Amino acid sequence: MHYTKEQKFLYSRVAVLLATVGWIVSGFAGLKGFSFWYGGFVLCFWVAFGLVNFHQKTSLWLAVRHRIPFLLLFGALAGFLIILDRAALNFHLWFYPTYHGLQFIWVYGVLYPFAALDLIELYYFTAKFLGEHLAFTQKPLSRAHRAIDSLEGLLFIAMTSGILAGALGWSISITAIAFLVLAWIVLYLAKLSFHLRHPKHFAYLLFLSAAVAAFFNEFPNTIAREWVYVYSALPFWNTELLSVPLWLWFGWLWFMLFTLRFWVTIVLHPKVK
């Protein structure tokens, strides 16, 4: 069936409205103690913001127009996040009081990958709202550029290997993994500075988007407890900001940057060259 431009615009706005109502209602359900609030939240959030960002060719656009690259991105995110979750469970960072057995198909097939896709949409929306665009450019190669590119790649492999070792139950220090995570964040931001037109603007938007994501994703769960965190052994990191521990705010910054790395590598890579 063929739709006119006016019909497409109307239907898309109705869909945005319904999806927005969906993620807001899901969030309020979490605030009321409903323990299965998060699935509706991440799915409706992705549809709402994906439609708003559609002309920027973000993840929803990719799912509609280029399904193979989308499935590759989705599979890569889902696969690694399963490993991340198993490592966190082995390190006793969190647990799921309401999920058992085959119910984890929902956790790993919906909650985790769509939460990651939400981060992509949230970043693009925030950038557009503040008048910025995720534009890549290739600056002249230098020794520093080559060194940072190589070191970031090595640190990324070391970090993911450490997480994989934790998921397999091998003896590895969570402090060492945390150090690798922090070092990788610094180096990846440095690496992107060679490819972004406005690296300082990107950093501001990254921190802002990560903070918004941390609040929206974690605050309702402080009441719903669909998942429960075990507090860090370091008292400082347990300090709460808006009922969310500091280590989680930092964790969402890493999650945002990590997801954007997948997005850049799998989807935007030709533009980076």
- Residue 224 burial by Cβ neighbours in a 10 Å radius (0-12, 13-18, 19+): buried
Query: For residue 228, what are the β-bridge partners?
Result: 95
How many C-beta atoms surround the C-beta of residue 248 within 10 A?
Answer: 20
**First-to-last C-alpha distance (Å) of the chain:** 39
pLDDT in tens, the chain (273 residues): 566 666 666 778 889 999 999 999 999 999 999 989 999 999 999 999 999 999 989 999 999 999 999 999 999 999 999 999 999 999 888 999 989 989 999 999 999 999 999 999 999 999 888 877 766 666 666 777 788 888 999 999 999 999 999 999 888 888 888 899 999 999 998 888 877 777 777 888 889 999 999 999 999 999 999 999 886 655 666 677 777 788 889 899 999 999 999 998 888 765 543
Three-class HEC string of 12-38: HHHHHHHHHHHHHHHHHHHHCCCCCCH
The structural domains of the chain, with segments of one domain joined by +, span 5-134+200-272, 139-194
How many C-beta atoms surround the C-beta of residue 30 within 10 A?
Answer: 25
What pTM did the predictor assign?
A: 0.90
The sign of the dihedral angle between the CA atoms of 47, 49, 54, 60 is: negative
CA gap 77, 171 in Å, rounded: 25
- Residue 97 burial by Cβ neighbours in a 10 Å radius (0-12, 13-18, 19+): exposed
DSSP letter for 193, please: T
3-class SS at 58?
coil
- Residue 62 burial by Cβ neighbours in a 10 Å radius (0-12, 13-18, 19+): buried
CA gap 134, 49 in Å, rounded: 16
